[in-house]
């Protein structure tokens, strides 16, 4: 399991979004809410060559999009804590 310092090295901040990690052509992002519209359930966006999905951070279940590949599931499980921290930083605690 990565330590907090490794989370910070992996995360890339841009206005309104954070790239949590990019590894083996899989990317995980968290976005800030837009135009003051609240996000509902804390979630992240996962992208890979063959698809993409929106994943709930509490259950790691797919909310929308393609079923996660095995590699994408492993990566989101590894970085779920960092994604949740980024979500709360950008959107506040749910």
pLDDT, residue 33, reads 79
Domain coordinates in residue numbering, the chain: 4-91
Angle formed at CA 4 by CA 45 and CA 76, multiple of 5 degrees: 25
Integer-rounded Cα Rg, in Å, for the chain is 12
Q: Cα(79)–Cα(76) distance, rounded to whole angstroms?
A: 5
pLDDT number for residue 34: 66
Length of the chain: 94
pLDDT beneath 50: ranges in the chain? 1-9
The residues near 65 (Cβ < 8 Å, ≥ 6 apart) are 51, 52, 53, 54
Q: For residue 8, what pLDDT is reported?
A: 42
CB 2 within 8 A of CB 17: no
pLDDT of residue 11: 56
Model confidence pTM above 0.75? yes
């Amino acid at each position: 399991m990565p330590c907090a310092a490794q989370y910070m090295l992996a995360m890339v901040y841009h206005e309104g979004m954070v790239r949590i990690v990019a590894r083996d052509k899989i990317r995980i992002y968290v976005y800030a809410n837009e135009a003051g519209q609240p996000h509902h359930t804390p979630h992240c966006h996962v992208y890979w060559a063959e698809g993409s999905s929106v994943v709930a951070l509490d259950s790691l279940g797919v909310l929308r999009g393609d079923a996660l590949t095995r590699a994408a599931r492993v990566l989101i499980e590894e970085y779920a804590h960092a994604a949740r921290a980024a979500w709360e930083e950008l959107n506040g605690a749910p």
